[in-house]
Structure 1
Amino acid sequence: MLRFGFRFAIVVFLTLLTQIGGVAYLVGIAVARLWGVRRFAPKLAIFLLVYTSLTIVTSIIAPIFGRVPLSCLADAADKLVVRSPIYCALNRNYVTPAVRDLAHALADNMDRQLPGTTTIALDANFPFLAGFPLLPHLSHTDGRKLDFAYYYEDSSGNFLDGVTRSPIGYFAFEQPANSDEQPCRGRNDWLTGRWDLDILQPLFHAYRLQKQRMVEAVNWLTTEGVSRFGVEKVFLEPHLKNALGITDEHVRFQGCRAARHDDHLHVQLR
């Protein structure tokens, strides 16, 4: 019974983490039994082989179900890149074809208007099943959502192309001043994804937002992005929206129970 409970927990964990990992784990157990493998290292190798194979198969069949992967195999000429191969390894890089086209169009526009600009994609969605959660996100469940990293500059004002403050593009928050608009100040919701992660903040690079590129990206998303691709919402914390001088109604506050959005741009289509 203990072994069953342990394996069940692993299946749940791998499924929540990668969507297909639980299936890969069960197939790996079956293969190991069939081959009479008992040692941990060969079992792990079998699991990794099965998982890799399923990941490749997933990228082939996911378009049948309406989702396509953003590639993690970018070269120097690509203006849209996924922040880390880990997003692809965990199958968190799937979007609808419309979101994929929007992402490439945004990247092309950014490089055309401000040459030498690379646009960085972060979490997208899993490949299958509308409504399946992409934790810790609340809404990345249907292929219509995609996060983008911010654009940064160093302390001298030099643009840092392809660079993020944190290794994964998340959790390096742009902290508001006491005088800034903070709709969640003073709240202590017990059930919330709004983490401040104060202990991590000193570990991140002290880069500044590259405001010209931030404004250009948001303006494009709320004009051409809306008219051509059907952008419905762009999530941004109020203090950043004010600091960047953005007034468009498509740029919204996500609420106090969702994750903070002063470390990345959340874009979703209708």
Structure 2
Amino acid sequence: MLRFTLHALIVLILTLLTQIGGIAYLLALAVSRIWRIRFPTKLALFLLCYAGATFAASLAAPMFGRVPLSCLSGAADHLVVRSPIYCALNRNYVTPEVRDLAMALAAHMDQEFPGTVTVALDANFPFMNGFPLLPHLSHADGRKLDFAYYYKDAEGHFLNGVTRSPIGYFAFEEPAPGDELPCAGRNDWLTTRWDFDALQPLFPAYGLEEQRMSAMIAWLTTEGVTRFHLEKIFIEPHLKNALGITDTHVRFQGCRAARHDDHIHIQVE
């Protein structure tokens, strides 16, 4: 019974983390029982099954209305996924419309600021509307994508393709005294609005590159809306105010969702 519970827990965790990892684990488990192989070989077999399932998912996803953003970028690519871990965990899938929006945004930013790289973060899993991409509350239908901020160093020099956090998340732009704080005084017990205070001193003290940030939002709220049917952009109110954004497509995501002063969330209709 204990062994069954352990296997079930592993399947659950792998499924929540990768969507298809649980299936790969069950397949590897079945083969290992037939061959009666030892643990190192079992692990290698699982990794082989997982790699095969990931490749198969990239081929099958378009039949379900989703396409992968590539983690294999070259020097000429202006849209990159922040880390191969996103592709390894199958978190890089979007609808063709979102992919086209992301590529058009990156091309625009490169045109306005030659050489600029736009960094994509979490997207969606390859299959099934409604399947949660934890810890996100809404990345469940291929229509959502997160972008990293553009940063500059202490001397004001643009840091191309660089993020404060290794994965692009959790390095927050803290509000200044007097800034709008819509969640002040709330103590929700069921929330993903985590502050990660202990992590903040570990991140480099880069600042937002305001010109590129403003140009990004301006394009999203004009071309993104008219050409790609962009519906919403989530960003924290204090950053919206600091950047002088007034467009109604830019909204606050609510106090139960994750903070959005470390990344921008977009979604299309």
TM-score by length of 1: 0.99
Structure 1 unaligned residues grouped into runs of 5+ = none
Distance in 2 (alpha carbons) for counterparts of 1:205 and 1:123: 22
Aligned to 2:57: 58
State the Cα deviation string for residues 6-28 of structure 1 (Å, max 9, x = none): 10000000000000000000000
State the Cα deviation string for residues 167-204 of structure 1 (Å, max 9, x = none): 00000000001210000011111111100000000001
Distance in 1 (alpha carbons) for counterparts of 2:204 and 2:24: 37
Equivalent position amino acid for 1:267 in 2: I
Distance in 2 (alpha carbons) for counterparts of 1:76 and 1:31: 41
Aligned to 2:28: 28
Within 5 Å, which residues of 2 pair with 1:123-202?
123-202=122-201
Query: What is the alpha-carbon root mean square deviation over aligned residues?
Result: 0.5
Shift of 1:107: 0.1
Aligned to 2:258: 259
Aligned to 2:9: 9
Shift of 1:36: 2.1
Equivalent position amino acid for 1:14 in 2: L
Distance in 1 (alpha carbons) for counterparts of 2:56 and 2:111: 35
Distance in 2 (alpha carbons) for counterparts of 1:82 and 1:236: 20
Equivalent position amino acid for 2:148 in 1: A
Shift of 1:113: 0.6
Structure 2 unaligned residues grouped into runs of 5+ = none
State the Cα deviation string for residues 87-129 of structure 1 (Å, max 9, x = none): 0000000000000000000000000011121000000000000
Aligned to 1:19: 19
Equivalent position amino acid for 1:23 in 2: I
Distance in 2 (alpha carbons) for counterparts of 1:212 and 1:35: 60
Distance in 1 (alpha carbons) for counterparts of 2:115 and 2:242: 24
Aligned to 1:112: 111
Within 5 Å, which residues of 2 pair with 1:35-74?
35-37=35-37, 39-74=38-73
Shift of 1:45: 0.3
Residue 6 of structure 2 aligns to a residue whose secondary structure is helix
TM-score by length of 2: 0.99
**Off by >6 Å, runs of 4+ in structure 1:** none
Residue 8 of structure 2 aligns to a residue whose secondary structure is helix
Residue 98 of structure 1 aligns to a residue whose secondary structure is helix
Shift of 1:220: 0.3
Distance in 2 (alpha carbons) for counterparts of 1:197 and 1:178: 19
Distance in 2 (alpha carbons) for counterparts of 1:257 and 1:266: 15
Aligned to 1:247: 246
Shift of 1:31: 1.0
Within 5 Å, which residues of 2 pair with 1:186-225?
186-225=185-224
State the Cα deviation string for residues 208-263 of structure 1 (Å, max 9, x = none): 00000000000100000000000000000000000000000000000000000000
Residue 102, structure 1, aligned to residue 101, structure 2: yes
Equivalent position amino acid for 1:97 in 2: P
Residue 85, structure 1, aligned to residue 84, structure 2: yes
Equivalent position amino acid for 1:198 in 2: D
% identity of equivalent residues:
72
